[in-house]
Structure 1
């Protein structure tokens, strides 16, 4: 059985806090070097990184300059994706989901510089992606901190996707902004006057808060860290799992996560298919293919057997092994699927 043996957490960032709140077992896998190869980037994360890199640099003042900067960062991101997905060939950037929408909205945001000005007064100081922390407990890197001439402080976070659910700010976004407020108060000895999120999907949103909200969020972050560290010390990290379709959807460690595989069922409707099964037959040509006795899956037809095609030759399998294939593409309704550029596979148990 796969069981991560992570190092303890010293400080907690907003990203780490949200991961701990969602499923701390993912943090355990993340912090164990034995599972580092499973962490792969994806097109959504790379689009976000492209936008953050451009927003944190000099503003391109014309459309021509923007196109040049955009192309440079896209080339960098695509090289990262190719390296992450080897031996598969990922789609070119123009085929990524939300590629055009993200580019258009970022360009509009940058070229309309007036939208970034506050009514609070002229800017005295500003910091892009500046790391701030509170001793050994909390740390964070807001996308932008602005201190205006009148002494007020504004914290801005940029998001490429939607930050709303049911018309309200997503809990993880609110937690992130509350921690930034707490960290800014520690750094400047003053609470931010405004917390703002700019979503390329939803536009500008103001996060209403009070200092007590931020203090409570900071206390929650420390509590989650301490709970995680206790599980590490007691070797009970598997008990931290919170498997659900929402929590597990984008996790890197599904092929080695026993709680995820145990909870998997046809009710977990997703854009991709996961199968846990025992190898019945292995064939090899230009690619490998395997025939499986299915033990767990989210296939709607609840098949007892499945065939996986287009498996790169470097994957080694033996009859009788229990394996987990993740993010497969269905080829037909009779249990035939294939690996694609973002598929993964791990041996769950030997033969």
Structure 2
């Protein structure tokens, strides 16, 4: 993708398989999940916390596999994996201003210490004897591939621990695990995490003709949560996942339909889903739905004709836009020209995403995630 020029169409390819980690995403918005599965380049910056989460997950994998045996190993792995993520970010015109992660990630040092504590726990047996029916012998396998016989559904389980009573499937999470605001005394694990583990259980059964004895998710704080599961429910979820895959590929490969119609059938635009979608700049149904439901709380995005562009005394840019189909101009101030290549060129039409509302109606300002594309 050429820097700051929005691609005319999104590249959408049929999927080879559906993975447990993608299942919930397909139920929210098929288009977004397809683009993520196809590893399509994001059109908006990824949150720096997600980059740090990727580094932490790699550390968990390395530690769980025996590659980290003490604090010195941890410090080296932390530095290497964080630098690896920062190198990727430095190559992106949208994300390089988030480097270093130490500055842009809230509670960076806290997360580092939590990761260290988790790694220390991993150096010892991950699950105590009392946690899994009092087993006396365990053996751990890392990054275990599980799939259906036809390969239409599959994915890597972070770890499988073999015990005298059966196998335990383990998933490591760097983000939130517990639902916020739950009223019960027992913590509620996020539904999407539960679905993911249940699909791993079904895939395990599909490969080995037996069921795991337990499903567990482990967070950065070292806390382990057991996921209760029903075998029939797990099998039903796997069947649903395979059906979703078939339906999606049927839509993608239907040559009788136009590109626009395909997008409409795959996308599920709503403020809740689109606000956190890094592909919305290229999503036509998103812009169309905004026109239909103008009164609801959509992200602060705008596209239209550039009416005026001024460099202010502080070196920042003020841009005035006439939005498509509207009569009132929109002004966006505080734009850093070194962050937005489009501001250093002359373009008739632009789109701006993730603005921050200013004190005056139809006035906005730059935020950390504000991104500008040329549409000329």
TM, length-normalised to structure 2: 0.78
Any gaps of 5 or more consecutive residues in structure 2?
A: 1-6, 183-187
Output the aligned Cα RMSD.
Answer: 3.2
Counterparts in 2 of 1:302-341, with a 5 A limit? 304-308=329-333, 309-312=335-338, 314-315=341-342, 316-319=345-348, 321=349, 323-329=350-356, 333=360, 335-338=363-366, 340=368
Q: Give the 3 Å change call, closer, same or farther, for CA 87–116 of structure 1 in structure 2.
A: closer
Aligned to 1:110: 119
Deviation at 1:250, TM superposition (A): 2.2
C-alpha separation between the residues in 2 aligned to 1:40 and 1:146? 37
Distance 2:95 2:50 in 1: 20
1:99 paired with 2:124, answer no
Higher alpha-carbon deviation: 168-177 or 83-92: 83-92
> Residue deviations 1:241-297, cap 9 Å, x none?
112232223211111212223344564376xx3223332124569676531123599
Alpha-carbon distance change, 92 to 179 in structure 1, aligned in 2, over 3 angstroms: same
Assess, with a 3 A threshold, how the Cα gap between structure 1 residues 82 and 10 changes in structure 2: closer, same or farther: same
In 1, distance between residues paired with 2:227 and 2:95?
43
> CA contact under 8 A between 1:145 and 1:154: conserved in structure 2?
yes
Shift of 1:90: 1.6
The aligned runs of 1:151-190 (5 Å cut-off) are 151-165=165-179, 166-167=181-182, 168-190=188-210
Q: Distance in 2 between matches of 1:30 and 1:204?
A: 28
Preserved CA contact (<8 Å) 1:42 1:81: no
Structure 1 residues 41 and 307: alpha-carbon distance in aligned structure 2, compared to 1, 3 A threshold:
closer
| 2:84 alignment partner in structure 1 | 76
The answer to whether the 8 A contact 1:162-1:202 is kept is no
Q: Distance in 2 between matches of 1:242 and 1:282?
A: 35
Q: Whole-Å Cα distance in 2 between the matches of residues 338 and 72 of structure 1? A: 32
**Aligned-pair distance for 1:10?**
2.1
Deviations 1:31-73 (A, max 9, x none): 679x636275432222221122111113544434322322222
Say which SS state the counterpart of residue 190 (structure 1) adopts. coil
When residues 296 and 136 of structure 1 are mapped into structure 2, their CA distance, relative to the original with a 3 A threshold, is farther
- Tell me how far apart the structure 2 counterparts of residues 137 and 214 of structure 1 sit (CA, whole Å): 16
Partner of 1:206: 226
Name the CA distance, whole Å, in 2 between partners of 1:81 and 1:115.
35
Structure number having the greater strand percentage = 1
Match of 2:282 among 240, 252, 256: 256
Query: Are residues 1:290 and 2:319 paired?
Result: yes
CA distance in structure 1 between the aligned counterparts of 2:208 and 2:138, rounded to whole angstroms: 14
Secondary structure of the equivalent of 2:244? Answer: helix
Separation (CA, whole Å) in 1 of partners of 2:325 and 2:198: 40
Q: What CA distance in whole angstroms lies between the structure 1 residues aligned with 2:22 and 2:146?
A: 15
Mapped to 2, the partners of 1:63 and 1:249 lie a distance apart of 39
The residue aligned with 1:130 is 144
Q: Are 2:264 and 1:238 equivalent residues in the alignment?
A: yes
- 1:155: Cα distance to partner? 0.8
Measure the CA separation in 2 of the matches of 1:246 and 1:14. 22
Equivalenced residue count is: 338
Q: Distance in 1 between matches of 2:11 and 2:81?
A: 36
Shift of 1:83: 1.9
Deviations 1:204-258 (Å, cap 9, x if unpaired)? 2111001111101101111211221122123423222112232223211111212
Report the more deviating stretch, 208-217 or 244-253: 244-253
Q: Matched residues in 2 for 1:87 and 1:215: separation?
A: 41
Aligned residues of 1:9 and 1:225 also touching (Cα < 8 A): yes
Give, in whole Å, the separation in 1 of the partners of 2:94 and 2:9.
Answer: 25
